[in-house]
A and B are shown apart, each in its own frame.
Chain A
Amino acid sequence: DAKTTQPPSMDCAEGRAANLPCNHSTISGNEYVYWYRQIHSQGPQYIIHGLKNNETNEMASLIITEDRKSSTLILPHATLRDTAVYYCIAAWRAGSYQLTFGKGTKLSVIP
């Protein structure tokens, strides 16, 4: 799997968009970008994933650059419940089963 790099922490005002960046400069053409989050010490929760097109679901949007070397997870209207550690991982969906999570970004949503 490609190595991903994320900032260790970020703050966001409640109600504003939270934009969480992830660098994956060594990503290969068949590796997907997955985002998970972990609230306190609960089990991580899947948010969204994509290959090269931008993706949106009820939780978030994922913007992947054209060269696929970086991506941004967007939480459009952050709430206090979005305070969590967010993990970006690059995994070859077609066969890479050794998934490495890394340390993630601690997002603090501030009232």
Chain B
Amino acid sequence: EAQVTQNPRYLITVTGKKLTVTCSQNMNHEYMSWYRQDPGLGLRQIYYSMNVEVTDKGDVPEGYKVSRKEKRNFPLILESPSPNQTSLYFCASSLYLGRGLSPLHFGNGTRLTVT
């Protein structure tokens, strides 16, 4: 089954403790992206990647890192999490069509709480 898999689904951590949220897709998609969703603010893009070793900042990249060493994986790294990074996170992927992107496929989300 074609899917985007995020892990973990739920994560509670403390301020300053490094964490990684994993994202993997099995559709051979070139494009992958991370979003965060907060009440009243909608979905905001954190980082995106057009292909292996190519990443770019989205609208809210501060406090986050990403890497794209393999096509299927796009982990989100919080080096020193803070309470304002408490949010619902979504990973998405898409096929690069040469003249743009196919519609996005989203994962089921990771709910992160930083205390």
Chain A nearest CB, measured from B33 CB (Å): 7
Chain B nearest CB, measured from A49 CB (Å): 7
- Cβ–Cβ < 8 Å partners of B48 in chain A: 97-98
Chain A nearest CB, measured from B26 CB (Å): 15
Complex-state Cα separation, A91 to B48, whole angstroms: 15
- Cβ–Cβ < 8 Å partners of B43 in chain A: 44, 87, 101-102
Of the four ranges (under 10, 10 to 19, 20 to 34, 35 or more), the interface on chain B belongs to 20 to 34
Across the interface, B42 reaches (CB within 8 A) one of A34, A92, A102, namely A102
Contact B40 A43 (CB under 8 A): no
Contact B35 A101 (CB under 8 A): yes
Complex-state Cα separation, A99 to B109, whole angstroms: 18
Contact B108 A99 (CB under 8 A): no
Q: Known contacts A41-B109, A43-B107, A92-B100; decide if A100 and B4 are in contact (CB<8 Å).
A: no
Across the interface, A46 reaches (CB within 8 A) one of B45, B58, B103, namely B103
Complex-state Cα separation, A14 to B45, whole angstroms: 34
Q: Known contacts A87-B43, A93-B101, A101-B43; decide if A43 and B4 are in contact (CB<8 Å).
A: yes
Contact B106 A95 (CB under 8 A): no
Chain B nearest CB, measured from A81 CB (Å): 17
Complex-state Cα separation, A40 to B33, whole angstroms: 21
Q: Known contacts A36-B103, A43-B108, A101-B45; can you find 18 more A-B pairs with CB under 8 A?
A: A34-B103, A41-B37, A41-B88, A42-B108, A44-B104, A44-B106, A45-B106, A93-B97, A94-B100, A97-B31, A97-B48, A97-B50, A97-B101, A98-B45, A99-B45, A102-B43, A103-B41, A103-B42
- Which A residues form the contact surface with B (CB < 8 A)? 32, 34, 36, 41-46, 49, 87, 91-95, 97-104
* A-B interface, 7 closest residue pairs, ranked by CB to CB distance from nearest: A43-B106, A93-B100, A46-B103, A101-B43, A103-B42, A94-B100, A94-B99
